[in-house]
Amino acid sequence: MRPIWVLALNTYKEVIRDRILYGLLLFAVILIGMSLALGQLSFAEQARISANFGLSAIHLTAVALAIFVGSNLVFKEIDKKTIMTILVRPISRLQFIIGKGLGLSLIILTMISGLALVLVGIFALLNMTVDVRLAWVLLGLLCESLILLGVTLLFSMFARPILVVCLSVGIFLIGHWQDSLAFFARKNPEGPTALVHWICRHFIPNLERVNWKELVLYDQPVNALVKAQAVGYSLAWYAFCVALATWIFRRKDVG
């Protein structure tokens, strides 16, 4: 466990000391701040629109971190040859991937927590009640970021960062359209949409399973069992992607 933790902390430091992160954070804070102004446009739904906009800002920032930083996570180590000084130490390639992934996950967690505090401030300004449902929504965002990070790590084993970003964004979009795809597949069970849906359902994660924004936006009750299953679903996807990435990485020349 120790090497994983050491690698994770180094990755954490590396990203936290990178100016790009602060650019992204500033962008997110501005978006969340704008949610106040945007809410004013509505006659009766100011709080809901502000909450929706604020949560979407956190969502996009977390996803951008997972995809854009994740696509460079291993590539940069190979490109700059820093990986050579690490893999000659008593560290397995599995530990390396897990350590890098854990470091970035911690960054995403920190970022979500920080932005959530800003959002809570906005909610306070709007006299909105903040309860445990917000924590569930944020957990859902973390789960989605984890899935996308796993997918990005997997793609980065055989593609360059720009292609990895394109593929991961594709997974992000399809992952959120799965329910719509299922709807059209039900309408026309014999058509090509049904086949596309079948493929997507089996090979692409359904990111709507961890999209729980409606808990806060529409005051819906929490079904803990369903949510726990969705967390398990996310972790399983992450573990699967990391295992497959490691399988490829173990066969890859890194010199």
* Per-residue tokens: 39: 């809410």
Instruction: Identify whether the C-beta of residue 164 lies closer than 8 Å to the C-beta of residue 85.
Output: no
CB of 154 to another protein, least distance (A): 20
Instruction: Identify whether the C-beta of residue 157 lies closer than 8 Å to the C-beta of residue 245.
Output: yes
Query: 10 or 193, CB closer to another protein?
Result: 10
Task: Using alpha carbons, select from 252, 233, 242 the residue that is nearest to residue 98.
Answer: 242
Query: 96 or 136, CB closer to another protein?
Result: 96
- Residue 92 CB: number of other CB atoms within 10 A? 13
The residue ranges that bind another protein (CB under 8 A) are: 2-3, 6-7, 10, 13-14, 17-18, 80-91, 251, 253-255
CB of 78 to another protein, least distance (A): 10
CB of 80 to another protein, least distance (A): 4
Query: 183 or 247, CB closer to another protein?
Result: 247
What contacts 149, CB < 8 A, 6 or more positions away?
66, 70, 101, 104, 105, 108, 238
CB of 165 to another protein, least distance (A): 22
Query: 86 or 153, CB closer to another protein?
Result: 86
Query: 7 or 116, CB closer to another protein?
Result: 7
CB of 66 to another protein, least distance (A): 20
CB of 76 to another protein, least distance (A): 9
Query: 6 or 196, CB closer to another protein?
Result: 6
d(CA 206, CA 234): 9
CA atoms within 13 A on the CB side of 245: 29
Which residue intervals of the chain are DSSP H helices?
A: 2-16, 19-40, 46-64, 70-79, 82-87, 93-125, 132-155, 161-187, 192-203, 213-217, 224-249
